[in-house]
Amino acid sequence: MLTLLRQPRYLGLIALMVLLAIGCSVAGTWQVFRYEQKHSANHHLRSDAHDPANPVTDALGPAASPTSNGQAQKFRVVTASGSYLPQQQTLLRGQSTDSGNNVGYLVITPLQTKDGVLLVARGFIPQNNAADTSPPVPAPPSGPVTVQARLEPADSKRDRFGQLPGSQVDTVNAADQSARMGEPVWNAYAELLPGQPGGAQLQAIPAPDLSNPAGGAEEPQHLAYVLQWYLFALLALAAPFVMARAELRRGEDEDEGTTEPEQRNPEDPSKRQTRRQRRASLDDRLAGRA
């Protein structure tokens, strides 16, 4: 087999398969990195979702000089005390609470606190009419309230307030909201937990699915990709040897088919060729062919 593998056509195949194996190994190593990254992100989000509630200033800093944009605090439960500002309320359109079957709006009502304004998603309201007409929304309670809510990062895309019907917006953009109100606004919004002041007569926003909170491929999928790419690398390295072995077997079968009858006669051991002799003969012919 070594004689066959030293032929130029097999040397070229071996070089190609080595390059392919290196590429597959790099892809497998990348999937190891992606698995570790996804595992870390999921662990962080699950941990934040189960942490005790803390004041919003502890999580994000003062609204006028925030220490975070809310991305690293996603799903963290915070507390805030203040008064709702219903005149600044907006409706975040194109939302759903059940995988797209029930389309409607999140009711975003600013909560004025002593440290700034927190945008609170009080709940969900279905779209029962055409999108060019905003539905009636239950008013929030008046006077001071203390709420618990789950943080979500705000969006940097413009909310298009004033370009859409009524008080509808496309995004929760803290900078746009701050410019309209003339008040510092935290660069995050908070989804009101069930049973909190302001959620009456609105559909509660369901808790996030923590099976794979970071989204994208799940952790077991990344492990499967790791095994898949490393297996491809091993198959690529084995391919030249398997092909050479198959070619040798074919040559042996052809030799046996063309051997003179007396050479195959079991009664005459002196004229029988052993498998090793036939393989050596085939290797010699292949070497001469190269």
Give the model's pLDDT for residue 211: 85
SS3 of residue 143 by DSSP: coil
Give the model's pLDDT for residue 7: 80
Give the model's pLDDT for residue 138: 93
Condensed to tens digits (0 to 9), the pLDDT of residues 38-89 reads: 888 888 888 888 888 899 998 888 888 766 667 788 899 999 999 999 999 9
**Secondary structure of 158-221 in HEC code, one letter for each residue:** CCCCCCCCCCEECCCCHHHHHHHHCCCEEEEEEEECCCCCCCCCCECCCCCCCCCCCCCCCHHH
Give the model's pLDDT for residue 125: 92
pTM score, whole prediction: 0.71
The ranges of the chain with pLDDT < 50 are: 262
Condensed to tens digits (0 to 9), the pLDDT of residues 201-224 reads: 999 998 888 888 777 888 888 999
